[in-house]
Amino acid sequence: MKLAVLGCGRWGSFHLWYGDRLGFRTMGWEPSEEPVMASLMRNRGNGYLKLPEGVGLTLSLDEALEGADLVVASCPAQSFRGLAGLLSGRDLSGSDLSLCMKGIEEATGKRLSEVCREAGVRPRSVCAWVGPGHPQEFVKGVPGCMIMASEDESAAERLSRSVNSGLLRMYHSRDIIGCEIGAAAKNVVGIAAGMLDGRGMAGLKGALMARGPQEFARLVSAAGGDWRSVYGLSHLGDYEATLFSPWSRNRAWGEAFVRGGVAPGLAEGVPTCGALLKLAGVHGVELPITEAVFGVISGTAGFDEAVESLFGRPMKEEFPETLR
């Protein structure tokens, strides 16, 4: 089996490492202008891992895609439309495409599988590979669980089985809508958790965790997905890795932001705030947590004001209506 990984950053390099561990022929690609690729080619590793000798690296997209059974897209979510444009028109009928990004397009509020379809990319199947975990832990042998979601249930099951191992226990789902929205939304909750950490209010993270899934379950349901997916690995199952882990970029970004600093690395939850609000507007769903985080980031609301808007509401019964 040949695995092509498009995007060789933190997660992309992990997929190269993991594909080699599974015994796949692996090839990684990045555009020639990306400094991350030059460094990876020169050092055969990065701050997260060392690539095995059998892993190939190329600047030629055609070389990476040639004969690939599974193509993993692992670029920043907001760059995916550009990558999809490069894939459009290429014959991917013999390849499954797995989207390994957790985000929604900021400009349109569309899920990445929708972007893929709009761009005219036509693989054998399209899946979202999401769930909790950090490459830093996986390469040390710390096991975890993830999920493969696709409208094509047989493809989700086949792909989850092909990449399942003792290190990564894979589950599958036919609810790609719920899994894509849930995976993107957990990053916004991660930023909120980091903001609470940064202001010494970590005691409110429990309430944040209780309210987040209900908020996004309503959005998933309105968008045509299965609200139960939000309570699975794509969203709630990823809370520990996103709201508490020292490796969480979104949590670290939120903490640094309210302290007046800058956290290193990409925080997908930042553009996802605006994207979720666009999506929610289409479906007439309120997202109080997302609105509060967006207000603080954009400067239209202060941190104390945002906290008051979330936690200072009139008291009410905990479960008066679940998804209405």
The string of pLDDT tens digits covering residues 104-163 is 999 999 999 999 999 999 999 999 999 999 999 999 999 999 999 999 999 999 999 999
- pLDDT tens for 13-42 read 999 999 999 999 999 999 887 888 988 999
Active site includes 186? yes
Annotated active-site residue in 2, 102, 110, 186: 186
**What is the predicted pLDDT for the residue at 322?**
52
Q: Which residue has the tokens 């909790």?
A: 132
**What is the predicted pLDDT for the residue at 250?**
96
Contact partners, residue 207, CB within 8 Å, separation at least 6: 311
How far apart, in whole angstroms, are the C-alpha atoms of residue 63 and residue 26? 12
Taking the alpha carbons at both ends of the chain, their separation in whole angstroms is: 46
**What is the predicted pLDDT for the residue at 309?**
86
**What is the predicted pLDDT for the residue at 33?**
77
How far apart, in whole angstroms, are the C-alpha atoms of residue 324 and residue 322? 6
- pLDDT tens for 185-224 read 999 999 999 999 999 999 999 999 999 999 999 999 999 9
Closest CA to 100 of 147, 138, 32, 36: 147
Q: Does the structure show a pLDDT above 70 at 256?
A: yes
Q: Does the structure show a pLDDT above 50 at 313?
A: yes
Percent of the chain with pLDDT over 70: 96
Q: How confident is the model at residue 315 (pLDDT cuts 50, 70, 90)?
A: low
Beta strand pairing call for 168-173 and 144-149: parallel
Percent of the chain with pLDDT over 90: 89
**What is the predicted pLDDT for the residue at 265?**
79
Q: Does the structure show a pLDDT above 60 at 71?
A: yes
Average pLDDT, the chain: 94
Which long-range contacts does 31-37 make (Cβ < 8 Å, 24+ apart)? Answer: 31/59, 32/59, 36/8, 36/9, 37/8
Q: Does the structure show a pLDDT above 80 at 321?
A: no
Mean local confidence (pLDDT), 258-282: 92
Q: Does the structure show a pLDDT above 50 at 324?
A: no
Q: Does the structure show a pLDDT above 60 at 240?
A: yes
Ordered structural domains, the chain, with CATH:
2-175 (3.40.50.720), 177-311 (1.10.1040.10)
Contact partners, residue 8, CB within 8 Å, separation at least 6: 16, 28, 29, 30, 36, 37, 40, 57, 74
- The first and second tokens of residue 295, run together, are 């207000």
